[in-house]
Structure 1
């Protein structure tokens, strides 16, 4: 209707063109206004000689827009509810971890929290040697944290890879992981900081992805790090 040369391209070449029809209708508007049946068929409602109500067509557009807005609002509300539930579970998990009685209990509680509150395959604490490694923790060779996260990397989220050997769950069940760097400062006569990891395992391939935010697991890792600093690590 904005310059299309032929209204009926498959008809004879002498068929009427839209510009001609438009000009004719402008010169004879009463032919269209008086044809109430045609107006109703194209979604227009006539009111008198020179008034045409676009109610049906306009209402259809408004209903479609309202439906899109309702769908968008439902998605936003669902995301908000999921975020609120995750934050609540994270705060409760933090309280569970703070009640740990020793390093071994801390590792046990972390694994239980990951499975029971977040539906993960498990979680673990790993610390580099040399030095003692508490029962229930995993040991890494010197430089192991940098080898996994890079020299200045703080987190890594993505697919599970062979040879990690951090979780109690079988490797075949772990599809994606989150690794968070920690540097707990253990008390004692030879007090020192040691590179460590807080690791989470998911049985779903999209459980942890590089595009995902890691604020909640990083918060849990910080709680683990600060709680672990209560006790000296014995050789």
Structure 2
């Protein structure tokens, strides 16, 4: 017998017993399993295809994709929950004032802060003169426009379908709506309002300095809910 023959090192007894008692510790550790598979491939030589190893690699890749999807779904769920809570708080705050003027001023104050937007404006179509003193008092929130203005604003004069909620990015806001703030508006949400039969429509516009705050790819369900609550609150003042 050759005394110089290499002797394979043995696993320490306590480690060996621990592996035997809890084999899942090895199976659940991806790095350890990769090392074992790599060692097994070396002993087989380069001319043998390990189908089990290939299958395991594919399963690992699939597991990684599933884990990524799982994390994305959880993140989206938390984001939706946060958005829902945000809109609910804004609705409660919006309904607090009992008089019309504080109701409108509240929109550009605490309601805008809760929704994290930089400007909120209400557009009403009317044949009434915008120079009316009552309207001028609300000039920082309210803009009165001629009939047909809202549809033209939403479609930019194009033959495009009208939606209750329009989310878009802009080069700058409309001066007629945002006033001095128009220059730094980069995205906006436009909520078309229906005040009932026989009344001209309205438009609630939320503007943001962040160009990614409102984009056409975003969901609009929460803003549609906000618009519905706002419509009902406005009908009380218009009745």
Give the TM-score normalised by the residue count of structure 1: 0.66
- Contact 2:173 2:186 (C-alpha < 8 Å) held by counterparts: no
Q: Could you tell me which of 143, 147, 154 is aligned with 1:142?
A: 147
Please say if 1:195 is aligned against 2:201. Answer: yes
Instruction: Give how far 1:170 is off.
Output: 1.7
The answer as to whether partners of 1:45 and 1:56 remain within 8 angstroms in 2 is no
Q: What is the aligned partner in structure 2 of residue 36 from structure 1? A: none
Return closer, same or farther for 1:55/1:144 CA change in 2, 3 Å cut-off.
same
Separation of aligned partners in 1, 2:233 and 2:74: 35
Whole-angstrom distance in 1 between the partners of 2:181 and 2:96: 28
**Bigger Cα displacement from structure 2, 76-85 vs 92-101:** 92-101
Higher gyration radius (CA)? 1
Q: Is residue 94–residue 111 contact of structure 2 (8 Å, CA) maintained in 1?
A: no
Specify which structure has the higher proportion of helix.
2
1:111 maps to: 108
Q: Which residue of 1 aligns with 2:218?
A: 212
Provide the residue aligned with 2:185 in structure 1.
174
Question: Are 1:84 and 2:81 counterparts?
Answer: yes
* Alignment partner of 1:93 out of 90, 95, 106: 90
Query: Where does structure 1 lack aligned partners over 5 or more consecutive residues?
Result: 1-38, 47-51, 186-190
Q: Please tell me whether the aligned partners of residues 97 and 227 of structure 1 are also in contact (alpha carbons under 8 angstroms).
A: no
How far off is 1:176 after superposition? 0.9
Look up the match of 1:122: 119
The secondary structure found in structure 1 opposite 2:236 is: coil
**Match for residue 41 of structure 2?**
43
The total of aligned residue pairs comes to 186
Gaps of 5+ in 2: 1-36
